[in-house]
Amino acid sequence: MLGEEPLPGDLVVDRYQAYNKAPCRLQYCYAHLSREVKDLHKEFPEDAEVETFVGSFAPLLSQAMSLRGLAISDRQFYRRAKTTKQAILEAVEHSARHPGIQRIQDIFRRTAERMYRWSEDRNIPAENNFAERTLRPAVIARKVSFGSQSDAGVQSREILMSIVLTLKQRFDDFQTRFKTALDHLAENPNLDPYHLLFQRDPS
């Protein structure tokens, strides 16, 4: 779907394996990783090693996520990013006995090339919360309406939400553009829906 040629930019994702097929650089989402770290403490609340690790590592992930939003110069950003990254690396390389801690550390070790893109380019967030928030209304609507009752309904919902949210990102008056495209298709069903929806001049 995305083609075989390398795409520019970086995709911020959770660790769902399908994203490995995307022909672009990946940055793993720290928000998802932070939840895993905190869940480790919930699972082993009495373990001193786990408590120490979570107490130091979770704040580092939060620092990385919040750093991009600070009103600081690029020079200050990259200096702080370097310091935070180094602290994360030290925590990841620190010898641990608990298997839960080792599992978290191993994620950062095995996929290091997908962990620190945020520290190299200020335009790359350390989390994909923007995408999560964008999807939330569609997810809530699906839940309160008890979802779709057929495979065709699921596919229609997926396509329509993809179209509407893409239009919303690209055009100010996306509702008028959507309506205009539908009006053109009603007059001539042989027209190309993609060009009607997404080209800059639909006339």
| Pairwise CA distance, residues 143 & 150, whole Å | 15
User: What per-residue confidence (pLDDT) applies to 137?
Assistant: 67
- Tens digits of per-residue pLDDT, 38-85? 999 999 999 999 999 999 999 999 999 999 999 999 999 999 999 999
User: What per-residue confidence (pLDDT) applies to 83?
Assistant: 97
Percent of the chain past pLDDT 70, that is, above it, reads 88
Percent of the chain past pLDDT 90, that is, above it, reads 56
Structural contact between residues 40 and 50, judged by C-beta atoms closer than 8 angstroms: yes
Alpha-carbon torsion angle 165, 167, 168, 172, nearest 10: 180
User: What per-residue confidence (pLDDT) applies to 108?
Assistant: 97
| pTM for this prediction | 0.70
User: What per-residue confidence (pLDDT) applies to 159?
Assistant: 83
User: What per-residue confidence (pLDDT) applies to 53?
Assistant: 97
Contacts of 202 (CB under 8 A, 6+ apart): 177, 180, 181, 184, 195, 196
Phi/psi at 199 (nearest 5 deg)?
-75, 150
User: What per-residue confidence (pLDDT) applies to 172?
Assistant: 85
Tokens of 135: 């999807």
Provide the pLDDT confidence category of residue 200 given band limits of 50, 70 and 90: low
- Tens digits of per-residue pLDDT, 6-48? 888 889 999 888 888 888 999 999 999 999 999 999 999 999 9
Dihedral sign from CA coordinates of 16, 22, 26, 29: negative
Q: What's the gap between Cα 193 and its chain centre?
A: 28
Provide the pLDDT confidence category of residue 156 given band limits of 50, 70 and 90: confident
Q: Where do the structural domains in the chain lie, given as residue ranges?
A: 10-120, 148-198
User: What per-residue confidence (pLDDT) applies to 33?
Assistant: 96
Q: Looking at per-residue confidence, does 170 or 70 come out higher?
A: 70
User: What per-residue confidence (pLDDT) applies to 150?
Assistant: 80
